[in-house]
Amino acid sequence: MTENFLDSCDPIDSRQFIIAIKKLADDIGYGSDRSTFLGSGIEYVQSRAYQIGDPIKSIDWKVTARTGKFHVKEYEAPKQMPIYLLIDTSASMTVTSTNISKYASAIRIAGGIAFAALDRISPVGVIGAGGRDLFVRPSLSADRILQWLLKLRSYRVDEPTRVGSRLAELMPILTSRSMIIVISDLHDSTAMPALKLAAQKHDCVALQLIDPIESGIQGAGFVKTREAETGITGITKNKVKLTDSKFIAEELKKSGIDYLQLLTNEPIAHKLRHFFKSRAVLSRGAR
């Protein structure tokens, strides 16, 4: 496996990068309504007596059981929640067996999501999940977000993974319900517990980036590898999956966290569009 740092993380230049993320933003937003990036910002207000025509799924069974009469839950109108893009800037994100690293893919995806969200008047913030502190508060300024994304493209990502601790640090700062989108390879063992905790108060999404060699799709054989963050070398068999996507999906689903795995050597626009369009449908009800 090769290690790519700085400019070699992404084969395209800044102008091409801007074009690429704007196209991705259009692809993500195509065919979806403006609620795509509302998340589950619909908050419970009160319960009231059931009326003919009320949907069965809105029945408040606890109040119904206590009073002996059917009651339904009422929710306030959807809110434009701030969106925090938590980008894994650790060394493991730069290791690649293709022409684009997980880190380069993460920045492109973050850019596409950011511009799609800004188009729907949702403020976007950027957080780095590496050794250095990077915290950009949510903004509706496309120029400001683009400035930080371009900086991240030349960021030296030779840092340890801090997805879990960054999520923990973020919790006291968020005074209102927010959408948190983690873009990472999820090599950090503390990431999932931290995501589950964050999901108790916020709308959380996990986008896991996988290099083909990690998914075991390159056939049989043995490959010499070097762990980017520790420098430890070893031999791994290609067929052995370094990440279990099915297990991760099932675990996160238990906490109401939406999860999508993306391979760096496959087209991502269609998957992201379908993923966020599905979330828009889900966000119209309480989750």
């925090």: which residue's tokens?
84
Query: Which region among 22-31, 54-63, 201-210 has the lowest average model confidence (pLDDT)?
Result: 22-31
Identity (one letter) of the amino acid at 36?
T
**pLDDT at position 54:** 85
In 6-142, where do the E strands start and end?
44-49, 71-75, 83-87, 95-96, 124-128, 135-139
Are β-strands 179-184 and 203-210 bridged in parallel, bridged antiparallel, or unpaired? parallel
Give percent of the chain with pLDDT exceeding 90: 47
Of 156, 266, 268, the C-alpha closest to 207 is: 268
Backbone angles phi, psi at 148, to 5 degrees: -70, -35
**pLDDT at position 76:** 61
51: CB partners within 8 A, 6+ apart = 72
pLDDT tens-digit profile of 112-147? Answer: 999 999 988 889 999 998 777 789 999 999 999 999
**pLDDT at position 197:** 96
CATH number for the domain running over 2-38+79-282: 3.40.50.410
Of 63, 39, 59, the C-alpha closest to 51 is: 59
Whole-number CA gyration radius for the chain: 20
Question: Phi-psi bin for 256: left (phi > 0), alpha (psi -120 to 50), beta?
Answer: left
Q: How far is CA 196 from the centre of its chain?
A: 13
Domain boundaries, the chain: 2-38+79-282, 44-75
Confidence of residue 36 (pLDDT cuts 50, 70, 90): low
pLDDT tens-digit profile of 70-93? Answer: 999 887 655 678 999 999 998 889
**pLDDT at position 198:** 97
Confidence of residue 285 (pLDDT cuts 50, 70, 90): very low
pLDDT tens-digit profile of 179-232? Answer: 999 999 999 989 999 999 999 999 999 999 999 888 764 443 444 444 444 444
- pLDDT at 35 > cutoff 70: no
* CA quadruple 113, 114, 119, 120: dihedral, nearest 10: 80
pTM: 0.75
Q: In the predicted model, what is the mean pLDDT of the chain?
A: 80
Burial, 228: exposed, middle or buried (Cβ in 10 Å; 0-12, 13-18, 19+)?
A: buried
